[in-house]
Amino acid sequence: MSKFLIGFQHAVTKVRHFVANKKILVSVVSAAVVLGCVSSVLLLPHGQAAPIKTASKPSSSIASVSSAPTPPIPSKKADILAAQQKNSDVVGWLTVPGTSLDMPIVHTTDNSYYLTHNLDKQTYKKGWPFLDYRNDAENLDRNSIIYGHNMGDGTLFGELKQFENLDFLNQHPVLYFGTADADRYWKIFAVYITDVNFYYINTSFPTDNDFTSLVSQMRAQSLFNTNVSVSSTDKILTLSTCTYEFENARFVIEARLVQPGESYDVTPATENPNPTSPHHKAN
């Protein structure tokens, strides 16, 4: 056999070995890929498909957050700022749904001046609703008190008497008393008629028990039973006006500050069959 044929046969043999090795390599790689796919499927929870890779997208810089409850009464911050331009004694705004009470609240160094003066500081027999001089509208006391006249004609705080009606209370269970810096909402927990001997206008409580004891007395005198809870750490709002069922009678509404994130929903109140107020004891 010539050297040329011998060389040609050696070359053919090398090519055959090379092709055979390539087939083996391809088979091994293919098997590995299949095994990997099978393994990934087996490692996924039952019924869950393997993830499909897609082009990455830039993550949003806005984190999703749960929406806060929608307030039942719009903010009055802008109105407060406008009223303060007119009278620097303005410290907040009171809104009582179902009534025309939607007005700035003033505050001064005594509880007498605004009994006989209006928002323009002019002498006026109906006065203007005001915050107790001992209170601080920004740094709330445990009991913040707002006074207003009941002229017997249904104006100013005379409108609060509508809360003697259970249906009216259940339709309007939340009040607004806020400042230029903070919107505040309050759930009504008691409505009662009392006299000046009951010191519901206390603003200072040496102990938690003193505060919760007063709240219990307010509930006991209330015309209605409510499911609005009041704890020792809560803040309450007292709306006080004169009434004429008996001498030195007072009509009072008590409400508890709504906490951040708390729902504004209120379970309907029911009649209190046995209020302990002086008015009901007399009757």
Q: Which tens digit of pLDDT belongs to each residue from 8-52?
A: 344 444 434 444 444 433 343 343 333 333 333 333 333 333 333
Q: How many CB atoms lie within 10 A of CB 147?
A: 22
Sign of the C-alpha dihedral computed for residues 98, 99, 102 and 105 taken in this order: negative
| C-alpha distances in Å from residue 248, one per residue of 57, 129, 162, 195, 198 | 72, 19, 20, 6, 11
Contact 42, 142 (CB under 8 A): no
Catalytic residue among 149, 172, 279, 280: 149
Q: What is the pLDDT of residue 282?
A: 63
Q: What is the mean pLDDT of the chain?
A: 83
pTM of the full structure: 0.77
238 has pLDDT over 60: yes
Least confident of 36-50, 101-115, 238-252: 36-50
Q: Helix (H, G, I), strand (E, B), or coil: what is residue 273?
A: coil
Q: How far is CA 47 from CA 39, 50, 241, in A?
A: 15, 10, 68
Please give the single-letter amino acid code of residue 183.
D
Residue 10 is a catalytic residue: no
CB 200 within 8 A of CB 194: yes
pLDDT of residue 281: 66
Task: Report whether 246 contacts 282 (CB < 8 A).
Answer: yes
- Tell me how far apart the alpha carbons of residues 160 and 214 are, in angstroms, rounded to a whole number: 22
- Among residues 107, 172, 242, 280, the one annotated as catalytic is 242
- 14 or 234: which carries more pLDDT confidence? 234
**Residue 149 among the catalytic residues:** yes
The pLDDT assigned to 228 comes to 98
Fold of 77-282: Sortase; Chain: A; (2.40.260)
Contact 192, 277 (CB under 8 A): yes
Give the β-pairing of 236-242 and 143-147. Answer: parallel
Q: Which helix (H) or strand (E) holds 175?
A: strand 174-178
How many whole angstroms separate alpha carbon 91 and alpha carbon 103?
Answer: 11
Rounded-to-integer distance, Cα 249 and Cα 144, Å: 20
Has residue 270 got a pLDDT over 50? yes
* Residue 137 neighbours by CB distance under 10 Å: 22
203 exposure class (CB count in 10 Å sphere: 0-12, 13-18, 19+): middle
